[in-house]
Amino acid sequence: MYADIAQLVLITAYCLLGEKFAPAPHALPSIITCQTIETLYFFTGQLHVLMAVHRFMHILVPRWAQSWRAATSTLLWVCVATSIARIMLMTALDTRMYWVYDRKTALWFITDTPWTQFYEIYLELGWSILEMVAILVLDGITLSHLISWRSAISRERATMHRHIETRLVLQSLCQCIPTASITILYFLVFPNIKSQFIQFMCSSFVLSFGNVLDAFIILIFHLRLSLFRANSVGFVSATSTFAGKYQEE
């Protein structure tokens, strides 16, 4: 959430600068600002995957939950390092390739170089799709585990804690919405339209709206509002395999 807020603040502050005060689009301060915004975007995407792994570990292998929790800080730094490496790779492919904000049209775009198409397809579009697939697969496995566990306990207890599965599915789907919106609207729709207004909606608007929506989703699930109230399910351990019997402790 903090990364989303930081990204939104940077985008807003940079876009609101008047032409008299703002650095030139291709000046070093502008390049650093735009690349920092992109790095924060990468970081939030990887946090979504990390949260999916977090749910997977705590539900399927609860005996490792404490060790996983202890490793979370290190994994966050890994996400930071990976995000920085991705943005540095962009520069390594071509020093002339970077993000630019055009104040006259209010559009964001990557400078046109021989490597731009490769970068957009594999390191932007492809990477985002892989992140969404990873989230859906991990949460799909976790949901299957919960359904199997629910079938092994009493009907009353299963009904009482059905909201766990609902919350998991909703969180998984909701976390994919901001990334999917940016991926589809910017990388697939934006290049194929001529209307400047629709281009603005698919560029500047969707980037800012995606950040706000992402932070809002995280806040909802973090605070566990009434729809996603905290569960009181006891510790569940597998006595054999994933498909085996389960025992409540």
- Domains along the sequence of the chain with CATH: 2-248 (1.20.1070)
What per-residue confidence (pLDDT) applies to 222?
Answer: 62
Supply the pLDDT for residue 85.
95
Query: How many other C-beta atoms can be found within 10 angstroms of the C-beta atom of residue 26?
Result: 11
Instruction: Report DSSP letters for 85-154, one per residue.
Output: HHHHHHHHH-TT--EEEETTTTEEEE---TTHHHIIIIIIIIHHHHHHHHHHHHHHHHHHHHHHHHHTS-
| pLDDT for the residue numbered 74 | 93
Given a contact cutoff of 8 angstroms between Cβ atoms, the answer to whether 108 and 99 are in contact is: yes
Going by C-alpha positions, the residue among 41, 40, 32, 39 that lies closest to residue 14 is: 32
Please list the pLDDT of the chain residue by residue as tens digits (249 residues).
677 778 878 888 888 888 888 898 899 999 999 999 999 989 988 988 988 888 888 888 888 878 888 888 899 999 999 999 999 999 999 999 999 998 888 888 999 999 999 998 898 899 999 999 998 899 888 888 877 776 666 565 555 555 666 676 777 777 788 888 888 888 888 888 888 888 888 888 888 887 778 777 777 766 654 444 444 444 444 333 333 333 334
Cβ pair 230, 238 in contact under 8 A: no
- What pLDDT, on the 0 to 100 scale, is given for residue 28? 93
**Structure tokens belonging to residue 122:** 């594999």
Q: Is 236 helix (H, G, I), strand (E, B) or coil?
A: strand
Q: Which residue(s) pair with 110 in the sheet?
A: 99
pLDDT of residue 246: 37
Spell out the residues 6+ positions from residue 152 whose beta carbon is closer than 8 angstroms to its own. 245, 246
